[in-house]
């Protein structure tokens, strides 16, 4: 039997098929530019061959029809109805979902009610679910939420110091994101360290185009850097991360920017892009090495903010078992890892420079880059959100 993982975005549909028995990836693909008139698709078949093309894909229903036809032709999956289960990525589960759930009418209704908290993501996720339910009404489908992992945070972590009725009536609080990634990499780390998950304490850095960090104590998330939305916290590719909220009043009152302009500025034009004109860490790192001053300040600031979070999380959870680097930058940027760890020796975090420079192995589920005398293990753990969704999907279906 096979498990399908779907990530439905506003104009894209990402999919991956796993064998249920051993979670081996059979095929994966992406359909893009849905509804734009110049759609495109690609799929990697079970032999590793890339199939790609262009097609008119007017809406998500057409995208799912296309995916289904591609899977039939290239993987032998004759109907989606023959799947063991379908796992859907859902960005915001609010306070309603503390773990992955089997989808029914109530779940659909609750995800819909949460749209105000994730107006860009939940509608597209919901649409993907509804169309998959139409295509495969007899297949159990599971919603896996980015926020669920952080639902155990204590109130002093998740509340903002604003009048409490705003929280009570409108759910304005910190939720945190990247939860599926954290769930995956922390479990991999526990396995690597041969530690029981319920006794694992760690600080985990998910550094991709979106970036966040998370503190885990005794297997429970106690804090994370993203908040009501993914804008809070670390400096990111195009997001500003933590700023003085009064900047928003200034931009409005003094510069006359309206709320949509400010939203765009802080989410899409800030972060690394705002500081040095581009958001891709690979080229920023090259410019850094060549002595470019804008690239230098961008990377300095990026790493400095991460260090401050590590310090504050160590004040909260004490000395962790490990510091985990994951996602595009965390898994690949030796420069960022080195700059983040520099100066943290007094906190028991000692990097081995040679191990840090070793080429990443895609096969290794986790590897250590800490010096032999480091009190805290420093690990690189490649993340795999789709695999985690497949795992959670199988678990939820099995339990039901």
Report, in Å, the least distance between residue 282 CB and ligand AMP: 4
Contact 70, 29 (CB under 8 A): yes
Contact 162, 172 (CB under 8 A): yes
Pairing of strands 202-207, 211-217: antiparallel
3-class SS at 68?
A: helix
**CB of 87 or CB of 208, closer to ligand AMP:** 208
- CB-count burial class (<10 Å; 0-12, 13-18, 19+) for 374: buried
Site string for ligand AMP, 179-218 (x = CB under 6 A): -----------------------------xx---------
**CB of 54 or CB of 282, closer to ligand AMP:** 282
Contact 323, 379 (CB under 8 A): yes
- The sheet that has 211-217: what strands, in order across it? 220-224, 211-217, 202-207, 322-326, 377-380, 367-368
Report, in Å, the least distance between residue 49 CB and ligand AMP: 23
Please pick, among 65, 81, 104, 146, the residue that the annotation labels catalytic: 146
Contact 222, 154 (CB under 8 A): yes
User: Could you say which residues in the range 214-253 bind ligand AMP, by CB under 6 A?
Assistant: 237
Torsion angle of C-alpha atoms 246, 248, 251, 252, degrees rounded to 10: -110
Q: Please count the residues of this chain forming the interface with ligand AMP, following the rule CB under 6 A.
A: 12
Paired strand residues for 51: 43
- Cα distance between residue 385 and residue 115, in whole Å: 22
CA–centroid distance for 171 within its chain: 22
In the structure, how many helices (H) and strands (E) does the chain have? Answer: 15, 14
**CB of 132 or CB of 285, closer to ligand AMP:** 285
- Cα distance between residue 394 and residue 84, in whole Å: 8
Report, in Å, the least distance between residue 333 CB and ligand AMP: 4
- Cα distance between residue 317 and residue 314, in whole Å: 5
User: Could you say which residues in the range 272-331 bind ligand AMP, by CB under 6 A?
Assistant: 280-282, 285, 327-329
**CB of 62 or CB of 329, closer to ligand AMP:** 329
**Residue whose tokens read 């979106």:** 210
Site string for ligand AMP, 327-356 (x = CB under 6 A): xxx--xx-----------------------
Report, in Å, the least distance between residue 284 CB and ligand AMP: 8
Report, in Å, the least distance between residue 287 CB and ligand AMP: 12
Report, in Å, the least distance between residue 47 CB and ligand AMP: 25
3-class SS at 58?
A: coil
Report, in Å, the least distance between residue 344 CB and ligand AMP: 21
> In degrees rounded to 5, what are phi and psi of residue 231?
-80, -25
User: Could you say which residues in the range 104-143 bind ligand AMP, by CB under 6 A?
Assistant: none
Report, in Å, the least distance between residue 400 CB and ligand AMP: 32
Instruction: Provide DSSP, 22-67.
Output: T--EEEEEEEE-TTSS-EEEEEE-TTS-EEEEEE---SHHHHHHHH
**CB of 188 or CB of 333, closer to ligand AMP:** 333
**CB of 39 or CB of 328, closer to ligand AMP:** 328
- Cα distance between residue 334 and residue 220, in whole Å: 29
Q: Which residue is nearest to ligand AMP (CB)?
A: 328
**CB of 85 or CB of 241, closer to ligand AMP:** 241
Catalytic residue check, 146: yes
**CB of 39 or CB of 237, closer to ligand AMP:** 237
- For 176, the token pair is 């945190």
Contact 185, 204 (CB under 8 A): yes
Which residues contact ligand AMP by CB under 6 A? 208-209, 237, 280-282, 285, 327-329, 332-333
For the annotated catalytic residues, the residue numbers are 146
């Amino acid at each position: 039997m096979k498990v399908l993982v779907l990530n439905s975005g506003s104009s894209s549909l990402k999919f991956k098929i796993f064998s249920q028995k051993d979670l081996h990836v059979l095929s994966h693909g992406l359909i893009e530019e849905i509804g734009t008139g110049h759609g495109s698709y690609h799929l990697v078949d079970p032999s590793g061959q890339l199939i790609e093309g262009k097609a008119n894909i007017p809406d998500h229903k057409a995208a799912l029809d296309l995916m289904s036809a591609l899977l039939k032709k290239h993987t032998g999956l004759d109907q989606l109805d023959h799947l063991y289960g379908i796992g859907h990525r859902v960005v915001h589960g609010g306070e309603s979902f503390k773990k992955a759930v089997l989808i029914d009418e109530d779940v659909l209704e609750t995800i819909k009610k949460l749209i105000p908290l994730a107006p860009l993501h939940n509608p597209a996720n919901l649409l993907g679910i509804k169309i998959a339910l139409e295509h495969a009404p007899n297949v159990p489908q599971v919603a896996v939420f980015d926020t669920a992992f952080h639902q155990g945070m204590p109130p002093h972590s998740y509340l903002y110091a604003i009048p409490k009725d705003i929280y009570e009536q409108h759910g304005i609080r910190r939720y945190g994101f990247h939860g599926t990634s954290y769930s995956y990499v922390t479990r991999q780390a526990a396995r690597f360290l041969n530690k029981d998950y319920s006794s694992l304490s760690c600080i985990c850095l998910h550094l991709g185009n979106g970036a966040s960090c998370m503190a885990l104590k005794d297997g429970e998330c106690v804090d994370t850097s993203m908040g009501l939305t993914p804008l809070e916290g670390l400096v990111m590719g195009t997001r500003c991360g933590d700023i003085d909220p009064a900047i928003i009043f200034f931009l409005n009152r003094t510069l006359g920017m309206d709320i949509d302009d400010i939203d765009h500025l802080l989410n899409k034009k800030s972060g690394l892009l705002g500081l040095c004109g581009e958001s891709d860490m690979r080229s920023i790192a090259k410019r850094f090495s060549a002595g470019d001053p804008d690239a230098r300040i961008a990377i300095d600031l990026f790493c400095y903010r991460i260090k401050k979070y590590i310090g504050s999380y160590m004040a909260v959870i004490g000395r962790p078992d490990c510091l985990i680097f994951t996602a595009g930058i965390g898994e690949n940027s030796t420069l960022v890892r080195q700059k983040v760890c520099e100066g943290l020796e007094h906190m028991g975090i000692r990097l081995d420079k040679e191990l840090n420079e070793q080429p990443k192995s895609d096969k290794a589920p986790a590897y250590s880059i800490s010096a032999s005398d480091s009190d805290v293990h420093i690990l690189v753990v490649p993340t795999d959100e789709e695999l985690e969704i497949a795992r959670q999907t199988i678990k939820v279906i099995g339990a039901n």
